[in-house]
């Protein structure tokens, strides 16, 4: 009988699930993903996690609890870096230890370290480390890894083409937009786990789509384009998320078709607090593009979020039609 491995539908699930799923399935494992985030999962996470943690980490705990009794092992990689010469938030590095020391009755945890700071080749070493729990043959692990990387590249291409992870994973066709008002181009910047988890962001992307807005996310921009823009900064960014968010913002500033930018921020997130500030300063200083920050935590109410979103969209539409009939970008 095959080993069942649990993958929490949280944090880097939205970035790497196609890669992990293919890799483990190729090694003969059965992959089980936790349920979609719900009030119950959130409450369980909040109850079990330390108060100081950010919302995404609390939700991650809820997903682990959702999985723990139905799998043989859990996959909680220890991420240090996912790109050369860059780091990610240190909370990812300590995540397996935090989870182990907070939650009881867990199955085995596979906590492979992923550290690509020095070289992208370290991804293969991480694959050997994770794969050894399922297969002793290194050649077979290598083959599974190559196939997983192929799926990952296809996934990234689908994101660049404008698809959302939820639609790709659930194999759903994207909903068509209502006809009528002229579509607005709204860029949404934020961590994948805030952007693509519909419960966390209270279905923000779908709401934007139904307000007749085309959504532009950082995943829809090429890495080359982002890097070209971040090279203009006086100092190199060493946070992966920071580089991508600021590079995307600099690109959006130069486009003539962006009607508004929304930044989704987690309350209590150190990385977001300065990345959002940098993005906001550049946008406010160098453009007339309306900018909205939505901060989410476990107390965020949907009514408050909807009101702000509707006011933002109404303001952009009003501006387009009444303020000398100029578009938001000047
Ligand atoms: S980057 Fe921010 S939101 Fe993400 S895990 Fe770290 S503190 Fe939490």
Q: Is 54 in the pocket of ligand 1 (CB under 6 A)?
A: yes
Ligand 1 midpoint to CA 30 (Å): 29
Out of 24-28, 169-173, 221-225, 321-325, the most confident range is: 24-28
Q: Would the CA dihedral through 22, 117, 193, 310 be positive or negative? A: negative
Ligand 1 midpoint to CA 54 (Å): 6
Phi and psi for 261 in degrees, rounded to 5? -125, 135
Residues 109, 180: Cα–Cα separation, whole Å? 51
What per-residue confidence (pLDDT) applies to 84?
A: 86
What per-residue confidence (pLDDT) applies to 178?
A: 55
What per-residue confidence (pLDDT) applies to 323?
A: 62
Q: Mean of the pLDDT values across residues 240-247?
A: 91
Q: Is 57 in the pocket of ligand 1 (CB under 6 A)?
A: yes
Alpha carbon 164 to its chain's center = 11
pLDDT at 182 over 80: no
What per-residue confidence (pLDDT) applies to 91?
A: 92
pLDDT at 327 over 60: no
Length of the chain as a residue count: 330
pLDDT at 213 over 90: no
Residues 212, 23: Cα–Cα separation, whole Å? 38
- Please write the tens of the pLDDT for every residue from 101-157: 999 999 999 999 999 987 778 899 999 999 999 999 999 999 999 999 999 999 999
What per-residue confidence (pLDDT) applies to 248?
A: 93
For residue 319, give both structure tokens. Answer: 């501006």
Ligand 1 midpoint to CA 223 (Å): 22
Ligand 1 atom at shortest distance from the alpha carbon of 92: 5
| The residue to which tokens 């909040």 are assigned | 46
What per-residue confidence (pLDDT) applies to 121?
A: 80
Percentage of residues in the chain having pLDDT higher than 90? 65
What separation, in Å, do the N-terminal and C-terminal C-alpha atoms of the chain show?
63
- Distances, alpha carbon 104 to alpha carbons 58, 65, 108, 151, 277, in Å: 16, 9, 11, 34, 38
What per-residue confidence (pLDDT) applies to 291?
A: 93
Could you tell me if 288 and 259 are in contact, meaning their C-beta atoms sit under 8 angstroms apart? no
Ligand 1 midpoint to CA 266 (Å): 7
Is the whole-model pTM more than 0.75? yes
Q: Is 316 in the pocket of ligand 1 (CB under 6 A)?
A: no
Phi and psi for 217 in degrees, rounded to 5? -110, 165
pLDDT at 235 over 90: no
Phi and psi for 329 in degrees, rounded to 5? -85, 10
Out of 61-70, 120-129, 202-211, the most confident range is: 61-70
| The residue to which tokens 């966390």 are assigned | 200
Q: Mean of the pLDDT values across residues 173-186?
A: 70
pLDDT at 232 over 90: no
- Please write the tens of the pLDDT for every residue from 251-281: 998 888 899 999 999 988 888 888 899 999 9
Ligand 1 midpoint to CA 191 (Å): 8
Ligand 1 atom at shortest distance from the alpha carbon of 241: 1
3-state SS of 115-167?
ECCCCCCHHHHHHHHHHCCCCCCHHHHHHHHHHHHHHHHHHHHHHHCCCCHHH
Ligand 1 midpoint to CA 147 (Å): 30
Q: Considering only CA atoms, which residue is closest to atom 2 of ligand 1?
A: 269
- Burial class of residue 301, CB neighbours in 10 A (0-12, 13-18, 19+): exposed
Residues 265, 275: Cα–Cα separation, whole Å? 10
Residues 54, 49: Cα–Cα separation, whole Å? 10
**Mean of pLDDT over the chain:** 90
Q: Is 260 in the pocket of ligand 1 (CB under 6 A)?
A: no
For residue 302, give both structure tokens. Answer: 């949907």
DSSP 218: G
Ligand 1 atom at shortest distance from the alpha carbon of 88: 1
Q: Mean of the pLDDT values across residues 78-92?
A: 90
What per-residue confidence (pLDDT) applies to 324?
A: 58
- Please write the tens of the pLDDT for every residue from 26-65: 999 999 999 999 999 999 999 999 888 899 999 999 999 9
Could you tell me if 157 and 148 are in contact, meaning their C-beta atoms sit under 8 angstroms apart? no
Alpha carbon 31 to its chain's center = 20
Ligand 1 midpoint to CA 40 (Å): 21
pLDDT at 293 over 90: yes
Domains present along the chain, CATH in parentheses = 4-160 (3.40.50), 175-322 (3.40.50.11900)
What per-residue confidence (pLDDT) applies to 328?
A: 54
For residue 7, give both structure tokens. Answer: 């993958």
Ligand 1 atom at shortest distance from the alpha carbon of 194: 3
């Amino acid at each position: 009988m095959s080993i069942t491995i649990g993958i929490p539908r949280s944090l880097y699930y939205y970035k790497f699930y196609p890669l992990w799923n293919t890799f483990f399935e190729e090694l003969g494992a059965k992959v089980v993903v936790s349920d979609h985030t719900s009030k119950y999962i959130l409450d369980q996470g909040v109850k079990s996690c330390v108060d100081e943690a950010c919302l995404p980490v609390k939700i991650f705990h809820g997903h682990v609890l959702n999985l723990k009794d139905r799998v043989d092992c859990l996959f909680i990689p220890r991420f240090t870096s996912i790109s050369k010469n860059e780091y990610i938030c240190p909370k990812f590095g300590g995540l397996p230890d935090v989870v182990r020391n907070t939650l009881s009755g867990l199955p085995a945890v596979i906590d492979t370290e992923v550290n690509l700071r020095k070289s992208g080749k370290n991804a293969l070493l991480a694959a050997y480390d994770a794969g050894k729990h399922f297969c002793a043959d290194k050649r077979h692990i290598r083959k599974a890894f190559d196939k997983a990387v192929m799926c990952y590249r296809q996934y990234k291409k689908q994101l660049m083409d404008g698809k959302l992870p939820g639609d790709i994973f659930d194999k759903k066709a994207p909903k068509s937009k209502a006809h009528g008002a002229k579509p607005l181009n709204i860029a949404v910047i934020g961590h994948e786990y805030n952007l693509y988890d519909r419960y966390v962001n209270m279905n923000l992307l779908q709401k934007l789509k139904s307000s007749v807005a085309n959504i532009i996310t950082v995943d829809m921009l090429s890495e080359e384009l982002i890097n070209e823009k971040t090279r203009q900064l006086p100092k190199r960014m060493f946070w992966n998320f920071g580089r991508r968010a600021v590079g995307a913002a600099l690109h959006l500033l130069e486009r003539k078709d962006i009607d508004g930018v929304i930044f989704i921020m987690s309350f209590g997130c150190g990385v977001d607090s300065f990345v959002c500030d940098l993005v906001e300063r550049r946008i406010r200083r160098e453009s007339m593009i309306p900018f909205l920050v939505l901060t989410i935590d476990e107390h965020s109410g949907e009514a408050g979020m909807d009101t702000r979103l509707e006011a933002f969209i109404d303001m952009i539409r009003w501006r387009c039609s009444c303020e000398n009939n100029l578009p938001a970008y000047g």
